[in-house]
Amino acid sequence: MSTATFTVSGMTCGHCVSSVTEEVSEVAGVTDVAVELASGLVTVTSAQPVDPDAVRAAVVEAGYEVVGA
């Protein structure tokens, strides 16, 4: 099992959390997505390490941005 954490900017409500969760859940290999609205942290769980670029693309598709490294 692999876990990766991303910081997402622009989320302001529960709908934002749902949008990010839905899009990131569709990334190949992802088994769970946990989104913390207050901190912007998105924790992605997968069987194998997930492609960070695929997660970033899913966040952008949801209308938000991954910030930081």
Position 15 scores a pLDDT of: 97
Prediction pTM value: 0.93
Q: Give the E-state strand segments of the chain in sequence order.
A: 2-9, 30-35, 41-46, 65-67
> What is each CA distance from 28 to 13, 51, 68, in whole angstroms?
26, 9, 23
Position 68 scores a pLDDT of: 74
Q: Could you read off the pLDDT of 1-51 as tens digits, one per residue?
A: 999 999 999 999 999 999 999 999 999 999 999 999 999 999 999 999 999
User: Mind listing the domains of the chain with CATH numbers?
Assistant: 2-67 (3.30.70.100)
Confidence check: pLDDT of 57 > 90: yes
